[in-house]
Amino acid sequence: MTSPPARTVRILGTHGVPAAYGGFETAAEQVARHLVGRGWRVVVYCQLPGRGSIRTDVWEGIERVLVPIPTKGWLGTARFDLVTVRHAAKRRDLCLTFGYNTAVINTWQRVNRIPNVINMDGIEWSRARWGWPRQAILRANERIATVVGDCLIADHPEIARYLADQAAAHKIVTITYGAHAITDAPTGPVVERGLVPGGYLTLIARPIPENSILELVEGFSTRPRGCQLAVLGCVDPTEPYARSVRAAASDEVSFLGAIYEPEVVRALRYHSLGYLHGHTVGGTNPSLVEAMGAGNPVIAHDNPYNRWTAGDAALWFRGPGDVDAQVTLLLGDAAVRRRLGAAARKRHAEEFTWEHVGGQYEAVLARHLPPPGATR
């Protein structure tokens, strides 16, 4: 007896697997792993530098389509998306697209009646760092995605409400990002970076104004703390904002630079007294979710995105004065740290495990599979 063909989904829009660039790639990898474990055939498009022909291989049970792209930056991304959408369209399988930055290209799937589920990311066009020309391009593509996508995934209830002003409610589904719980980690990566396990706070973010890095460093540096603030991210002294951050830092702030090794980041999170989170835009932030998965007490910027994500696991700030007060409270009261840490683990277990997130993706994708042998 012949077994039925595996359900197939093609994942587009990321740099590919294994994840090496951030939250979007991590989400794509974890969803792919979940689906493979559930018997799906998963094909992920991967962008490679350089020139050459498209080739395929298999990694961790995931089929990879390796696409060399010689162009860097936005033009390279657009070229990659164009090549991969056309390649996927020829196979007529269900598509899962992460991001809407080049949604105009996704009209190809719509015209050819190929189902496409689009993760809409945050309100990406609103980020000031892009500058107005790119913001305009992003906003236009966001509107196109709401039309050409068969289903729109919002990573936060606030994003879902925002999308409801542009698209039919039945097209919108809320699915957050996930993180693995961290229940143990070696101390070596911590000690090697001049930190004492249990004797520092962490801050992990790109140093741009919308992430409140300056406010957090200023507030922490207001007074001696008796512990370090470990800042992960490329705080480049040649950049004006980064120079302001460094100038505001006391000698208890350690700038560790960008760290991409997952095992090192896990160890730094696990042995941290708490996590400072300053993101002000976007939906569910992967770094905040990862901190909660490590049981970190959180001090977070007070906005609807962070309020829903962290819930009872956080203390809140608006400016440097609030940061000063909340850091003083967190460091000075072990009972507060225990309460917030327990709340972080509870909230993570309820909403942000990859098992939960992967299951939600599977349910949505299953609803949009084309009938066997049929075109839409």
Residue 46's pLDDT is what?
97
Same domain, 150 and 193: no
Same domain, 291 and 362: no
Q: What is the pLDDT of residues 330-342, one digit of tens each?
A: 999 999 999 999 9
For residue 3, is it within any domain? Answer: no
Gap between the Cα atoms of 229 and 218, Å rounded: 11
Domain extent, residue 90, equals 8-178+354-367
Same domain, 173 and 228: no
Gap between the Cα atoms of 146 and 77, Å rounded: 20
Rounded to two decimals, the pTM is 0.93
Number of domains in the chain: 2
Residue 56's pLDDT is what?
97
Same domain, 133 and 233: no
Same domain, 224 and 105: no
Task: Read off the CATH number of the domain in which 164 is found.
Answer: 3.40.50.2000
Same domain, 332 and 360: no
Q: What is the pLDDT of residues 103-160, one digit of tens each?
A: 999 999 999 999 999 999 877 766 666 677 878 888 999 999 999 999 999 999 999 9
Q: If pLDDT is split at 50, 70 and 90, which confidence band does 20 have?
A: confident
Residue 79's pLDDT is what?
96
Same domain, 128 and 203: no
Same domain, 197 and 333: yes
Q: What is the pLDDT of residues 287-321, one digit of tens each?
A: 999 999 999 999 999 999 999 999 999 999 999 99
Q: If pLDDT is split at 50, 70 and 90, which confidence band does 375 have?
A: very low
Same domain, 103 and 213: no
Residue 125's pLDDT is what?
64
Same domain, 22 and 140: yes
Average pLDDT of the residues in 351-372: 95
Gap between the Cα atoms of 120 and 161, Å rounded: 12
What DSSP state is assigned to residue 183?
-
Q: What is the CB neighbour count within 10 angstroms for residue 80?
A: 24
